[in-house]
């Protein structure tokens, strides 16, 4: 498949944004600027990027607890994301959601999600909306390998298949459900095989090769838009960090880590771009500098935003009711 | 004026909203040509077709989840769970998704969905098909909960529930489906507005769902013995019409709360606590609560009627305490 240079550069920028955003988030968490939990997408950049490069703003995605990469790939604002991680007023959710609950309706991002497997069923609803309103939209449902052991996976693929909903189920098989390796949490190797049970085509691709992901997603998304129903894409990838920051990942064998670092998607796309003269080395450096500037700007934006007013804690629960506050 | 059954009134409410708004649709188990387990959606499939009255597999998680995802993207689903007891299977989608999304996302996504939840005992459906789980729902910020007791309220509350931009849990008592009543107003009843079902001066009985009828029957009996009982039906459990409760308590100074749920941890306890905290000065006697015994609902008719509360229990409690 021939991918146009501007598409490649655009994908590279998104992957680099994810890489640098997550690296900064890692450091900021370590120094205490970001409270709570953060689950980093480092190492999996090619998956969200290769898929979302095929989507428009109006298309939907559902995301996971490891959602930063999906949101950046779908075009989310780095400023509002970083401010949300900081718990600031200018964050995507006004500081009410944090890392695990970032959403942007204007970009079709139906939310990161703290419940493993919850996005599957929400994606069915978004897919139904698109089909019902004949809007031509598709919904991409991102999820991890371990979530395919939840009942929601079964319920959602079954219903999406019988209703022929325009959904692409994208499994990021990063080999671990928290500390439990795939070999221990399920008795299959290829999650794509699970599609057979629902009469849903299942394909497994190298999730660290952004072109392989792009191509598989292109075909699945066309199929979905064409009314032929859902596809299950399994992207084999690896998370560089632990499940969350603070988890040292001691359960990941050293040889395994070394093997996967050889397949790191960022150097791969950079090498491809240079080898194929998509950009010159100087242009590549400029792109890197551009991304670093964007990330620095996002951190500045987050730092400068105030914390939310306490009164906002009782707002936004309902569209029309503000709950009682507390006098202190 | 029109006479309808409670079940027909629920259906009429749904039909009116579906005629008005093409984005309103129904989904659930056997809600299509079959007409629903209790016949509540009968005829709607013929009128609106398979796209708008959608049979789903037996998958409560995805029924609620599909309602969440489609309501967040522009539709107005009415999901039917065959029994409120099956909420357990879809609880994550309701509690962690539907109820939380608006807040977690900073108020930027609305989830305008209705979940119909047939609850209550009295039809020998035993422990997994007879529960009154309203308190699970009122406990969750982000959900609204209605519980109509009459055909008039069933219609008016359905119209409001579908119009509401938030997740509304529409609890219906399955023993009331055949109850006939006059429906004088074909218009929405605002959520959070209670109703005095019988006026009285000596004592307020706050009752929900089928217990409203038990309270009315008890009030008739008690009238013969000189008690002038007021029966207050909140109709909406959240938001709760505290103003109406206050007005009634300030008049009667005595309160009995009658709900069919197991008493331990029930919503009746919440109402009682609100009155104690906010209206204590108006009370002349301790609040009395009537609920089901703290057991699962047994099957055998004699056992079931022993466990769930009825008019006699209310009469007895009034005489004993007031």
pLDDT band for position A1 (50/70/90)?
Answer: confident
CA distance B234 to B201: 18
Task: Locate the chain A residue with the closest alpha carbon to B77.
Answer: A125
What is the domain partition of chain A in residue ranges?
5-313
- What pLDDT sits at residue A292? 98
pLDDT in tens, B282-314: 999 999 999 999 999 999 999 999 999 999 999
Contact check, Cβ <8 Å, B108/A114: no
> Would you tell me which CATH number, out of the four given (3.40.50.970, 3.40.630.10, 3.30.465.10, 3.40.1360.10), belongs to the domain A5-313?
3.40.50.970
pLDDT at position B30 is 98
Asked if A97's CB is within 8 angstroms of B106's CB, the reply is: yes
The pLDDT of residue A322 is 94
pLDDT (average), residues B8-33: 98
Angstrom distance (rounded) from CA B218 to CA A63: 54
pTM across the whole model: 0.97
Query: Residue B178: how many CB atoms within 10 A of its CB?
Result: 12
Helices H / strands E in chain A, number of each: 11, 7
Average pLDDT, integer, range B92-116: 98
- B163 is written with which tokens? 């119009």
The answer, yes or no, to whether residue B93 has pLDDT greater than 80, is yes
Q: Locate the chain B residue with the closest alpha carbon to A137.
A: B73
What does the block give as tokens for B120?
């209550």
CA–CA dist A185, A180 (Å, integer): 6
pLDDT at A270 over 90: yes
Residue A149 banded pLDDT, cuts 50, 70, 90: very high
User: Could B75 and A128 be called an inter-chain contact, meaning their C-beta atoms sit closer than 8 Å?
Assistant: yes
Element (H, E) at A13: helix A5-30
Place of tokens 């200018």: A90
Distance CA A323, CA A287 (A): 47
Listed in order, strand segments (DSSP E) in chain A are: 60-62, 139-144, 167-173, 176-177, 180-181, 202-206, 231-236
Token readout for A325 is 């506050």
**DSSP per-residue string spanning A271-296:** HHHHHTTSS-HHHHHHHHHHHHHHHH
Out of B129, B173, B213, B253, the active site residue is: B129
Q: Helix, strand, or coil here: A237?
A: coil
Q: What is the pLDDT of residues A199-218, one digit of tens each?
A: 999 999 999 999 999 999 99
d(C-alpha A106, C-alpha A129), whole Å: 16
Residues A268-296: what's their mean pLDDT? 98
Check whether domain B195-321 has CATH 3.40.50.920, yes or no: yes
Predicted-complex ipTM score: 0.96
How many C-beta atoms surround the C-beta of residue B277 within 10 A? 8
Contact A97 B107 (CB under 8 A): no
Predicted local confidence at residue A328, as pLDDT: 80
CATH assignment of B2-183?
3.40.50.970
Binned at pLDDT 50, 70 and 90, residue B1 comes out as: confident
Supply the DSSP symbol for B150.
S
Name which of B50, B51, B56, B65 to mutate to probe chain A: the one with the most chain A Cβ atoms within 10 A of its Cβ.
B65
Nearest CA in chain A to B61: A152
A159 and B56 within 8 Å at the Cβ level: the answer is: yes
CA dihedral of A319, B232, B94, B157, whole degrees rounded to 10: -60
Residues of A in contact with B26 (CB under 8 A): none
Whether the pLDDT of residue B112 is over 90: the answer is yes
C-alpha to C-alpha distance for B85 and B55, rounded to whole angstroms: 19
Read off the pLDDT band of A327 (50, 70, 90). confident
pLDDT by residue (tens digit) across B231-255?
999 999 999 999 999 999 999 999 9
Query: For residue A328, how far is the Cα from the chain centroid?
Result: 40
Structure token digits, residue A91? 């964050």
End-to-end alpha carbon distance in chain B: 39
Q: For a pLDDT cut of 70, what percent of chain A falls above it?
A: 100
In whole angstroms, what is the distance from residue A53 CA to residue A61 CA? 12
């Amino acid at each position: 498949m021939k991918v146009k240079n501007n598409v490649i550069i655009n994908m590279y920028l998104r992957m680099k944004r994810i890489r640098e955003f997550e690296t900064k988030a890692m450091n900021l968490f370590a120094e205490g600027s970001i409270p709570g939990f953060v689950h980093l997408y480092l190492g999996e950049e090619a998956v969200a990027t290769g898929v979302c490069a095929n989507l428009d703003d109006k298309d939907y995605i559902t995301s996971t607890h490891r959602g930063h990469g999906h949101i950046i790939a779908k075009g989310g604002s780095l400023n509002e994301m970083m401010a949300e991680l900081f718990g600031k007023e200018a964050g995507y959710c006004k500081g009410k959601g944090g890392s695990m609950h970032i959403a942007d309706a204007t970009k079709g991002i139906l939310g990161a999600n703290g419940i493993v497997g919850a996005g599957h069923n929400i994606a069915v609803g978004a897919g139904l909306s698109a089909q019902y309103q004949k809007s031509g939209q598709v919904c991409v449902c991102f999820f991890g390998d371990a979530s395919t052991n939840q009942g929601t996976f079964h319920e959602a693929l079954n219903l999406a298949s019988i209703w022929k909903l325009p959904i692409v189920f994208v499994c990021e098989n990063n080999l671990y459900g928290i500390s439990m390796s795939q070999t221990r949490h399920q008795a299959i190797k290829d999650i794509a095989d699970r599609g057979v049970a629902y009469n849903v085509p299942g394909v497994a691709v190298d999730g660290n090769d952004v072109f392989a992901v792009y191509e598989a997603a292109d075909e699945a998304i066309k199929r979905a838009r064409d009314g032929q129903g859902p596809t299950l894409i399994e992207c084999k990838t690896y998370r560089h960090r632990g499940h969350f920051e603070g988890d040292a990942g001691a359960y990941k064998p050293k040889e395994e880590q070394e093997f996967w670092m050889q397949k790191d998607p960022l150097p791969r796309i950079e090498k491809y771009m240079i080898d194929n003269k998509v950009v010159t080395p100087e242009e590549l450096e400029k792109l890197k500098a551009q991304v670093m500037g964007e990330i620095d700007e996002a951190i500045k934006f987050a730092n400068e935003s105030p914390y939310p007013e306490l009164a906002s804690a009782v707002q936004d629960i309902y569209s029309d009711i503000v709950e009682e506050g507390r006098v202190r | 004026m029109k006479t309808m059954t409670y079940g027909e009134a629920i259906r009429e409410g749904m039909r009116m909203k579906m005629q008005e708004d093409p984005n309103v649709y129904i989904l659930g188990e056997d809600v299509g040509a079959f007409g629903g387990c209790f016949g509540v959606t009968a005829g709607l499939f013929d009128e609106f077709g398979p796209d708008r009255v959608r049979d789903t597999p037996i998958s409560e998680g995805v029924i609620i989840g599909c309602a969440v995802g489609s309501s967040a993207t522009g539709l107005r689903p009415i999901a039917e769970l065959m029994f409120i007891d099956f909420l357990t299977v879809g609880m994550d989608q309701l509690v962690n998704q539907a109820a939380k999304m608006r807040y977690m996302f900073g108020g930027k996504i609305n989830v305008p969905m209705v979940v119909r939840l047939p609850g209550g005992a009295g039809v020998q459906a035993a422990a997994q098909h007879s529960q009154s789980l309203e308190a699970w729902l009122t406990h969750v910020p982000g959900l609204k909960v209605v519980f109509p007791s009459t055909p008039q309220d069933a219609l008016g509350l359905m119209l409001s529930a579908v119009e509401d931009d938030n997740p509304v849990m529409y609890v219906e008592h399955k023993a009331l489906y055949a109850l006939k009543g006059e429906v004088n107003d074909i218009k929405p009843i605002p959520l959070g507005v209670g109703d005095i079902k019988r006026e009285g001066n000596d004592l307020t009985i706050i009752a929900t769902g089928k217990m409203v009828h038990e309270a009315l029957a008890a009030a008739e009996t008690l009238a013969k013995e000189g008690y002038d009982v007021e029966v207050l039906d909140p109709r909406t459990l959240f938001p709760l019409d505290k103003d109406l409760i206050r007005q009634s308590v300030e008049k009667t100074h005595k309160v009995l709360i009658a709900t069919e749920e197991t008493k331990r941890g029930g919503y009746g306890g919440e109402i009682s606590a609100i009155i104690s905290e906010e209206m204590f000065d108006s009370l002349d006697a301790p609040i009395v609560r009537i609920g089901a015994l703290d057991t699962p609902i047994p099957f055998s008719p004699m056992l079931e009627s022993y466990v769930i509360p009825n008019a006699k229990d209310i009469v007895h409690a009034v005489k004993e305490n007031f």
